[in-house]
Structure 1
Amino acid sequence: MHLDASAEHELLLSVARGDEKSFKQLVDIYWWPVYYNILTLTKSTVTAQEFTQDIFLKIWQKRALLAEVDNFMNYVFVAGKNHVISAMRKKVLDTNAALPDDLVETNNSPGLAMDYKETWDAILKVIDSMPKKQQQVMRMSRIEGLSNKEIAERTGLSPSAVKWHIVAGLNTIRIFLATRNREFLLILLSAAVLLY
């Protein structure tokens, strides 16, 4: 079923007002496009199913925002991409200097899984090659997930010095990722590891 712009807008307004029947209709229409979009990003049917459910749950929780949406397909695809990036960030930051096993196991592409692991290991080596203080700050920020304020308190550096070390370190890693010429990994890993 495909809705024209006017019918879609009316449906979104109805959902925004809290109409559960309209929300069910919205899910029925857009579930599979969202699912297949997530599947192309995650390469895992289980993960795609879970993420699609999460995305529609969030849409319902923030349904009031739908009143301002002009194109729901674009809106939900952006929401899907952001959800995948957020999940990747959590998986990477939950590691102890290693790519999570579940990230590799849930990915149906052995080649891509190997790329993730190789790239993550290489990023850690890049961090290890940084000046000692910058290396310390980068590990605290991007691996341990500490805030700039927490890093400043632990290291005795000023907040501006912490920020400088992070910016310099991120530039080094971005250049490294770009030179590996792996666009998909650059998008996901830069979002997950670098833009936290």
Structure 2
Amino acid sequence: MAEDEKKIHSQEVNLLLLQIADGHQPAFNSLVAMHWKRVFSHAMTYVQCYTIAEELTQDVFLKIWQYREKLTEILHFDDYLFIVSRNLLISAIRKKIDSASIEPSTEHSETLWLPDQQMEMKELHSLILKGVDALSPQQQQVFKLGKMEGLSYDQIAESMQITKRTVRFHMALALNSLRIYIHQHNTKHLLAGLVLLLCLNKG
């Protein structure tokens, strides 16, 4: 897109945002039509399921409509849209992971995870555990207490008899090492692995 076209597009979006903030439904419909494909593609990257991606895309725009009064404060709508969609997608994935340790236990979870997706997430989960085994002893302990047992940094510091700052340091090192490990061993599903790593909270 040329610079002049970008400027015109930005002006059009800003005008729509002002109209939407006033509750103008047609303006909202125009905004949805303008950005639907982008958000949907983003969702498909995460969940790899058309139906779920479609539902999540609807949720993203519903969230924007619900908080439309705030749109007048938005300087860069593309950045705002990305943040809203990312947060909803990660929240959805966290709920999936929290559901019986990635095992489908209900009819709903079975529709949420197709068999091949279940296998992929199990493989990624197993890969992360192997990566944890490769960490230094202190990084392992911090990661397991924080991400698998759900302890706060304060609780970890008390348990390990170290400072909270040291806990943060070892957690940062552990997460960075695991990102590198996932990248080296599973580049095909790197994004899904990183999201799983972010959301992981049980062993």
Paired position in structure 1 for 2:183: 178
Paired position in structure 2 for 1:125: 130
Name the TM-score, length of structure 2 as normaliser: 0.70
Q: CA deviation at 1:63?
A: 2.0
Deviation digits for residues 33-63 of structure 1, max 9, x if unmatched? 5335423432223322331222112212332
Paired position in structure 2 for 1:106: 112
Paired position in structure 2 for 1:88: 93
> For residues 194 and 35 of structure 1, do their structure 2 counterparts lie closer, same or farther at Cα, with a shift above 3 Å needed?
closer
1:193 to 186, 189, 197: 197
Q: Which amino acid aligns with 1:16?
A: A
Alignment of 1:118-157 (within 5 A): 118-157=123-162
Structure 2 residue 50 is the aligned partner of structure 1 residue 45: yes
| Counterparts of 2:110 and 2:140, CA distance in 1 | 26
| Counterparts of 1:15 and 1:167, CA distance in 2 | 41
| Counterparts of 2:91 and 2:33, CA distance in 1 | 25
- For the Cα contact (< 8 Å) 1:16–1:67, is it kept in 2? yes
Once structures 1 and 2 are overlaid, which stretch shifts more, 78-87 or 52-61? Answer: 78-87
> For residues 57 and 146 of structure 1, do their structure 2 counterparts lie closer, same or farther at Cα, with a shift above 3 Å needed?
farther
| Counterparts of 2:170 and 2:103, CA distance in 1 | 26
Q: What is the aligned-residue RMSD (CA, Å)?
A: 3.5
> Equivalent pairs: percent with the same residue?
33
Q: Which amino acid aligns with 2:190?
A: L
> For residues 95 and 68 of structure 1, do their structure 2 counterparts lie closer, same or farther at Cα, with a shift above 3 Å needed?
same
- For the Cα contact (< 8 Å) 1:140–1:151, is it kept in 2? yes
Q: Name structure 1 gaps, 5 residues minimum.
A: none
